[in-house]
């Protein structure tokens, strides 16, 4: 968990939208939490706090609302990079890759 705390930046990729900027902010205060924001064409269109956050070794899982849909996210920390996926109902899958700032 300590490896995740801080700000991360990267990109999200999907087959239904252009590549977009992704930011994760992991904080460990009274509870471990993560805020996720996605920016496309200079416009932030998604931001939210993840729920049901679970960390198991180098793996992480969460739920978050994206574009009026409930999404399940998973990720794995590999060599300092966080590689993950969002599964969002009819929107299909979204892949992401982020590095700590």
Residues in the chain with pLDDT < 50?
A: none
pLDDT value at position 45?
A: 67
- Alpha-carbon distance of 7 to 35, in angstroms, equals 10
What's the sign of the alpha-carbon dihedral 44, 95, 59, 66?
A: positive
For the domain 6-100, what is the CATH code? 2.40.128.120
Query: The whole model's pTM is what?
Result: 0.81
pLDDT value at position 7?
A: 92
Domain ranges of the chain: 6-100
């Amino acid at each position: 968990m300590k490896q995740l705390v801080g700000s991360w930046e990267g990109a999200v990729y999907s087959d239904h939208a252009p590549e977009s900027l992704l930011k994760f902010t992991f904080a460990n205060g009274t509870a471990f939490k993560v805020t996720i924001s996605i920016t496309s064409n200079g416009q932030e269109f998604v931001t939210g706090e993840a729920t049901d956050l679970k960390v198991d070794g180098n793996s992480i899982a969460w739920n978050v609302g994206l574009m009026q849909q409930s999404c399940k996210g998973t990720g794995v920390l590999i060599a300092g990079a966080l590689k993950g996926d969002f599964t969002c109902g009819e929107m299909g899958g979204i892949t992401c890759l982020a590095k700590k700032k």
